[in-house]
Every structure is written in structure tokens, then in C-alpha cells.
């Protein structure tokens, strides 16, 4: 209850409202998709004339849902978690109750669960000469991201399959030697650029990674290089002093 002054006297007015708590996600970002099953969050303790008795929370599909009007957490328990095991858009609901029996408006944050990997990438054709070799050992490998959902990057593996670029071996035999994408090799762009790569038969495998961390099936590609330009790399210089002490 609150006191208010009327004509020099004070009147006790009933407490009929509760401030809504503010939800803070702990192990997820509400604006991004997530592949986890359990979502943890915390909240503040609102100021209230009657004092906060506790809180109730739950999760559901409707943006306009609300938790049961039954206290599940005391005023000292300012965190909780919900289990979500179906993909799609969900919402977490939280409401506060005071000792006067009032309930706050429901606080809501969105959660999007996504456990389905994106589709595979599609490689673009590389420019080749009349004999099937890439036109230069300095080149880009480009691909098209999968359609239908946000992609957060790509993982890849570039591998020299055989130094003998003249060897005539069936493609499926060579592809068996190609390792899957290395999760440590990650790039945000749908291409890779290389300068004066060694001659040989090369392979690359690429997978798309979506916002939730799901990884697509790898796409693989072979290509041959035979136009390496020899370069001299100087790693150290030993000074020599002449008869006039000049270096």
C-alpha cells in the first residue's frame, strides 16, 4: 500500500501493481538461433511497495503467452532455465508477484531453436586452360552458400592430394584421400584466395556453418595446377667487411 496526502491528511491506498522484471539471457543470444536444449537466464528484483514474494516462468510458442500464476522462485532466486526440444520459434515468459497478491505484466524474450544443418555449398567453375589445368596458380575458389537460412561462415580443408600433376588417376580414388573440413579453418566469406600455390593435384572440402553452429555435409572439389612460378626467398644475410671496413 502507498500513502498519499489529501487536504493535509494521509490516506492509505492499496498496492495494485507490480513492476515487470527484466530478463537477461545467460547461455544464448535471443536474437540468434541456437541448437541447445536448455536455456538459462536471470532477472532483476523489481522495487515494490509490498515487497516481491516471488516469480513464475515458463516457455511456449505464442508471443502473447504468460507463465502460470504460481510462484516457482522466491525473491532470492533470480535465475532459471527451460528445456526446449523442438525446433522453431519459442518464447520465455516471466512474471513477478508481490506480497499483496498482485502479478506483473509478463516479460517475454524470444528463443529460436535450430538443430537442422544447412544445405551443402555449390562450387563455382574455375577458369582452366585447354588441358584442364587452372589458368594460374594464383586464383580464387568460390562457392554459392545454401539457400533458405542465415549462414555464419564456412569451414574448409585445402589439401595437396598428389605432387605428380601428370598422373592420370580416377577422380573418385583421389577424393577418398581428401579429408573433411577442419573446424579450425573457418572463414566468413564464400571464397578462398591463394597466391602461387605449388604444382600438383589439389582437393578442397567446404561445409557451411549456420547461426546455431550446425554444419552442413561437405562439398568436395579437385583441381590441377602446373604453372608455379619459382621464387627466391632470402631468410638471412651475413655482412661482409672489405679492406676499407665497409660493409
* Model confidence at 225: pLDDT above 90: yes
Determine contact, residues 72/55, Cβ cutoff 8 Å: yes
The total of other beta-carbon atoms located within 10 Å of residue 85's CB is 8
What confidence score (pLDDT) does residue 76 get? 96
Determine contact, residues 63/91, Cβ cutoff 8 Å: yes
C-alpha cell at 184: 579450425
Contact residues for 65 (Cβ-Cβ < 8 A; gap 6+): 58, 91, 93, 106, 108
Q: Could you give the residue ranges of the DSSP H alpha helices within the chain?
A: 171-175
Taking only the tens place, the pLDDT of each residue in 18-49 is 999 999 999 999 989 999 999 999 999 999 99
Taking only the tens place, the pLDDT of each residue in 104-148 is 999 999 999 999 999 999 999 999 999 999 999 999 999 999 998
What pairs with residue 186 in β-bridges? Answer: 155
The DSSP bridge pattern shows strands 38-43 and 23-25 to be antiparallel
Taking only the tens place, the pLDDT of each residue in 148-198 is 878 999 999 999 999 988 877 788 999 999 999 999 999 999 999 999 999
210 versus 148: the higher-pLDDT residue is 210
What confidence score (pLDDT) does residue 238 get? 62
Contact residues for 215 (Cβ-Cβ < 8 A; gap 6+): 117, 155, 181, 183, 207, 208, 209
**Alpha carbons 203 and 216: distance in angstroms, whole number:** 18
Strand, helix or coil at 135? coil
Estimate to the nearest angstrom the gap between the alpha carbon of 71 and the chain centroid: 35
Amino acid at each position: 500500500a502507498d500513502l498519499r496526502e489529501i487536504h493535509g491528511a494521509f490516506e492509505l491506498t492499496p498496492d495494485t501493481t507490480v513492476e515487470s522484471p527484466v530478463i537477461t539471457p545467460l547461455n544464448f543470444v535471443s536474437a540468434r538461433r541456437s541448437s541447445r536444449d536448455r536455456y538459462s537466464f536471470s532477472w532483476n528484483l523489481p522495487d515494490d511497495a509490498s515487497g516481491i514474494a516471488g516469480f513464475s516462468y515458463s516457455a511456449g510458442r505464442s508471443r502473447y503467452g504468460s507463465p502460470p500464476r504460481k510462484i516457482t522462485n522466491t525473491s532470492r532466486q533470480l535465475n532459471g532455465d527451460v528445456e526446449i526440444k523442438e525446433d522453431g520459434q519459442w518464447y520465455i515468459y516471466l512474471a513477478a508477484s508481490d506480497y499483496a497478491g498482485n502479478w506483473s505484466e509478463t516479460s517475454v524474450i524470444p528463443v529460436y531453436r535450430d538443430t537442422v544443418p544447412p544445405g551443402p555449398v555449390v562450387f563455382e567453375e574455375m577458369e582452366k586452360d585447354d588441358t584442364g589445368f587452372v589458368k594460374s596458380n594464383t586464383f580464387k575458389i568460390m562457392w554459392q552458400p545454401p539457400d533458405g537460412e542465415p549462414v555464419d561462415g564456412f569451414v574448409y580443408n585445402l589439401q595437396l592430394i598428389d605432387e605428380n600433376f601428370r598422373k592420370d588417376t580416377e577422380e573418385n580414388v583421389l577424393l577418398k584421400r581428401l579429408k573433411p573440413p577442419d573446424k579450425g579453418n573457418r572463414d566468413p566469406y564464400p571464397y578462398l584466395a591463394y597466391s602461387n600455390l605449388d604444382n600438383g593435384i589439389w582437393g578442397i572440402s567446404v561445409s557451411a556453418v549456420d547461426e546455431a553452429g550446425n554444419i552442413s555435409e561437405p562439398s568436395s572439389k579437385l583441381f590441377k595446377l602446373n604453372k608455379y612460378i619459382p621464387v627466391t626467398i632470402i631468410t638471412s644475410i651475413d655482412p661482409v667487411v672489405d679492406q676499407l671496413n665497409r660493409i
